[in-house]
Amino acid sequence: MSTDIDKQPPSAEHRIARLPIESIARDPHQARTRFDEAGLAELADSIRKSGVIQPVVVTGDVAQGFRLLAGERRWRAAQRAGLAELPAIVRNDLDPEQARVLGLIENLQRESLGVMDTAHGLARLGEIHGLTHDAIAVRIGKSRAYVSNFLRLRQLATPVQKLLDEKKLSIGHGKILAGLDISTQTRLAGRAVAEHVSVRRLEHWVREQGQPRTGPATEGAPPELAALEQRLAEHVGNAVRIQYDPARRRGELRIAFHDLDEFEGLLARLGFDQGSAD
């Protein structure tokens, strides 16, 4: 089978082509981990009628095959629609890191990821380049609040994150729960789903229980520590707790993480090089 790409000069590193769909493979490091079946079916039906309007982005060549950088949802839907070829932008002008970032930014800009895929994608973008929340926001064309709010959701327990991805809870619910301890998060999330409560009602429950979402854990600590705690949490993207003993004028700084991948990312954001020797 002859494709448009066979007619391109071998030296071309950035070109548009129609590629055999079987020559394209998904990126195992793709930010998206969840695909809505109903949405894919709807897109596949649209593609059958109108074709693929926006090309996918790939890297590779005819001999070795092509790897998706952006557009996995379109690629999956095109397969369901029975297409033999797919329009693609071939980007061989990028190094591996640039290629990963391109796909990630494309998904984040299009807001085509699920809630937690977006949160983890933003964290990954920050980790790759050591970016602050402000810098991440500039890269994807969003506000700083948008970035901080999504990163805050990574403080949620895994079962609560799943409820957000399943759209049983909203991002607003998640923001309220993120500052609570894990057991309280899980309990209140389950109750919120069972009773179909609003964000405002959930916030009322938290206040009723006297569960502080932010602020120093130790009574009598200077009030400015509450603001500092919040700023630190936004800066590192993880829950932060400052415990202070005013009598002894000493305390502890605790930063929460949920798995080793998140811990390694946290260390990188703090500037700690795990490979360096003492």
Model-level pTM?
0.54
Task: Look up residue 52 and give its DSSP letter.
Answer: -
pLDDT of amino acid 195: 93
Cβ–Cβ < 8 Å for 91, 99:
yes
Residues of the chain with pLDDT under 70: 1-14, 30-33, 110-112, 210-223, 234-239, 257-262, 265, 269, 273-278
pLDDT of amino acid 8: 42
Q: Cβ neighbours of residue 46 under 8 Å, at least 6 residues apart?
A: 77
Give all domains of the chain, ordered by start, each with its CATH number. 4-94 (3.90.1530.30), 158-212 (no CATH), 224-269 (no CATH)
Cα–Cα distance for residue pair 44/37, rounded to 1 Å: 10
In the chain, DSSP finds a helix count (H) and a strand count (E) of 12, 7
pLDDT of amino acid 164: 94
pLDDT of amino acid 213: 46
Question: Amino acid identity of 145?
Answer: A
Residues forming a β-bridge with 65: 61
Cα–Cα distance for residue pair 155/130, rounded to 1 Å: 19
pLDDT of amino acid 216: 41
**Which one, of 134, 135, 136, 132, lies nearest residue 121 by Cα?**
136
Question: Amino acid identity of 33?
Answer: T
pLDDT of amino acid 217: 45
Q: Report, as residue numbers or ranges, the catalytic residues.
A: 72
What are the phi and psi torsion angles at 23 (to 5°)?
A: -85, -5
Helix or strand holding residue 184 (H, E)? helix 182-195
pLDDT of amino acid 221: 55
Task: Look up residue 180 and give its DSSP letter.
Answer: S
Cα–Cα distance for residue pair 136/155, rounded to 1 Å: 19
